[in-house]
Each structure stands twice: as C-alpha cells, then as structure tokens.
Amino acid sequence: MVYVRQDKLPKLKEYKYSGVDHSLLSRYVLKPFYNNVVINCFPMWMAPNLITLTGFGFVVANFATLLWYTPTLDQDCPRWVYASWAIGLFLYQTFDAVDGTQARRTHQSGPLGELFDHGVDAINTTLEVLLFSATMNLGQGWKTVLTLFASLLTFYVQTWDEYHTHTLTLGVISGPVEGIITLCIVYATTAILGGGSFWQRSLFESIGVQHYSFIPNAVYNLAWNEWYMVYGGIVLVFNTVTSAQNVMEARRARGQKARVALLGLLTFALAWTLIPAYLYLQPAILHHHLVPFIFYAGLINAFSVGRMIISHLTKSRFPRGNVLIYPLIYGVIDSLGPWLQQHIGIGWPSALGDDVYQVAFVFMCLGLAVGVHGSFVVDVIWTICDYLDIWCLTIKYPHEDGEGDQKVQGKKVQ
C-alpha cells in the first residue's frame, strides 16, 4: 500500500517546523537545561532520530520490568523498579527534547524528524498508560481503560490541531512537558513509599483530614489515584477545548468552514465507541487480557496519528477512517448477538464465544495492528529517505562549516 503519493512528494521540501510552547516550566527550567547542558553530551555525528530512538529504548526497558513484576497491573514492585521508571521516563523526555536541537546544529532538520518524533511519542503514550496503571495498582479494569482514553485523546487532538493550524501548540500545561514531569514525580514518590498500594488509600484520610459532616462520603473516600484522574480529566477538557478553538480560529482566518474540521474527530469517536462496547461485552478480556488489547487500541490511535502527520507534511487532505477499526467492528457485532439473546430474546450466536477463541481474536487484532502500522512506518520512512536522499538513523551528508554550497535536506542547492 502506498502511503505517500508521488505527486505529493515535492511538498516535503516545503516543510518548515513551526511550534509554540507556552509552558513556564519548559521556558525557564527545562530548555536552559537541555540547551546548555544536555546537548553537549551528544557528538555531532549522532543523527537526531537515533537520539529519539535511544531515548525510547529506556521506556521499552521500563515496560519489560513491568511485564516481569506486575503483568496484571495490580502488584507492588520492588522500590528500584519504580525508581527506574522515573529515571527512564525523564531520560526519554530529555532525549526527545534535544533531538530538535541536534537536528538544527547538524543541519539535518526536515519532515522525517517530525514524523519519527511523533511516531515514537504515539507508541510511548500507550506504554506510559500501562506503567502509570501499574504504579497506581489500577489493575485490569475500567480505570485503566479511562486512563488510556484520556491519554490517546490528548495526543490525537494535539496532532489534529497541528494539522489544521500548521503549528504545534503546547499550552501552559501540556502532556509532553508537565504531564511527563508529573509522571516522573509519581513514579519516584511510589519508590519512596514502597509500592502502589499507597495510592489506593483515601487522600483525605492519609493526610489527616477529619471526616466532617459537610464532606460527602463519596468525596472523602476518593483514593489518591481517583483524585489524579479527576485532575487529568480537567486538564483533558481544557486542552481539548483550547485545541478546538485554535483550529476554528485558524480555519476562519483562511476563509474556510470551521466546523468541517470537527469531522476529523469522528474516527477517534468511532474507535472509542467500539472499544468500551467490546470490553463491556467481553468482561474476560477486560479483567484478564487487557494488556494486549490496550496495545491494539494504542496502535489504532498511532496509525491515525501517523497518517495525520503525513498529510500535514505533504499538505494532503485530512485522512478519515482507519482500517484497524474493522476487526473491532466484527468483534462487537459477534459479541452483541448473545447479549441481545439474553436481554431481549432476539440475537445471533457468537462465532468466537467468550473463552479461548476470544483471547485468540484479541491477539490476532494485535498482530494485524503491528503488521499494518509497521508496514506504514517502514514504507513512509523508506519513501522520504529515498526522495530526500537522506538516511534515517545516520547522517548521510555531514555538514561542514565554510562550504560554498548550501545543503538542504542532504542535497546541494545550486
């Protein structure tokens, strides 16, 4: 399958990065640290994408320890595990932040860098949901699913915003900055406390607040992890509304219909209508095999985000639909029949049942998602590298000061 059409390839040379970061933490703390300290640790021969991939390796290592110590997402791990998750995520954020600086100082900035950076971030989002759920001992259930929904929606809307405004906008509070730092603090605090069981306790009770009569029982008994989800929900709504306003203002300024852009959210809405429906109809998957299903759901989002980025880089029309949703549609229809028979007396038998074949179906969906998204990544990287005459993980044409000809995207411009 061709993901980048030949007539759109010339648009790659028109690409110019545009980003706005309103974060005070980023402006006064992180960026000075990155630009004055961290960037000096990387040699000039190291490709920016290799820095990104190396940083992602720390998160993969974190996920490997999760699978070993708490595959069910509800067991306390040794203290060093949580500490390693905090260090690994901080290193990932640091490497991910300096790859742009490395690209500029080695004169390797280009569309491949944005695609590679966003693609890795999309996978990391899903992995961090699992790591966070394990840290909070959320287990395999609806709390983990809700965390996944909030994280994927934030990433999807941010990319949707960038497609329409042509600018990556990070607000005063954003996932890539404050969100990651918050997670690092949570992981480190869990290491100090000795395990995720602490986050199951009532926040008010654990800090010594008396249960006054004016405090409802439901509020007083809210656990730390539930308060965190309330906080995340508020930030999610704020960022989503802000992105929608940015998109509408940008389209109005160009004389385009603002509401048409909202149709781009339908793909995400469809996926997240089917995901909870399937899990509700198949509680065995929800409570016993949620990790592979979360990977599948995460790859659905990563595939949509990847296609949005390609459309942004090549100035193509917004991509609608997602082929990875089709197996989920079948899964919901297949599981809906027995449920209808049980509740209204009319339905159809399930071809998969609710046992081993349903588990096999989830792993088949995961395998299909890995194959489709993997082919997308390989095809797009290969196409861009071939057209721009560059390499992905190494620098094909090192920049030399004092050269007579200017090099742009690895090619000499006369």
- The string of DSSP letters for 281-341 reads H-HHHHHHSHHHHHHHHHHHHHHHHHHHHHHHHHTPPPP---GGGHHHHHHHHHHHHHHHH
- Residue 408, classed as helix, strand or coil, is strand
State how far Cα 233 lies from the chain centre. 16
Collect all residues with Cβ–Cβ distance below 8 Å to 372 and sequence separation of at least 6.
Answer: 299, 303, 323, 324
Fold designation for 6-396 = Four Helix Bundle (Hemerythrin (Met), subunit A) (1.20.120)
Radius of gyration of the chain (CA): 23
- The pLDDT score that the predictor gives to residue 96 is 93
Is 399 part of the annotated catalytic residue set? no
- The pLDDT score that the predictor gives to residue 228 is 86
Model confidence at 65: pLDDT above 90: yes
Mean residue pLDDT across the chain: 90
pTM: 0.92
Residue spans of the domains in the chain: they are: 6-396
- The pLDDT score that the predictor gives to residue 402 is 52
| Nearest to 313, CA basis, from 7, 14, 3, 5 | 14
Q: Which of 22, 107, 118, 312 is catalytic?
A: 118
Separation of alpha carbons 281 and 332, rounded Å: 8
Higher pLDDT, 108 or 173: 108
Separation of alpha carbons 44 and 53, rounded Å: 16
- The pLDDT score that the predictor gives to residue 283 is 95
- The pLDDT score that the predictor gives to residue 179 is 86
- The pLDDT score that the predictor gives to residue 320 is 87
Model confidence at 413: pLDDT above 80: no
CB-neighbour burial class of residue 116 (10 A; exposed 0-12, middle 13-18, buried 19+): buried
Look up residue 228 and give its amino acid: Y
Model confidence at 366: pLDDT above 80: yes
Look up residue 114 and give its amino acid: E
| Nearest to 271, CA basis, from 318, 228, 321 | 321
Separation of alpha carbons 83 and 105, rounded Å: 33
| Nearest to 51, CA basis, from 346, 392, 322, 373 | 392
pLDDT, tens digit, 9 for 90 and up, residues 281-326: 999 999 999 999 999 999 999 999 999 999 999 999 999 889 999 9
- The pLDDT score that the predictor gives to residue 124 is 94
DSSP 8-state assignment for residue 353 = T
Model confidence at 334: pLDDT above 60: yes
Collect all residues with Cβ–Cβ distance below 8 Å to 96 and sequence separation of at least 6.
Answer: 52, 55, 117, 120, 121, 176
Average pLDDT value for residue range 147-169: 92
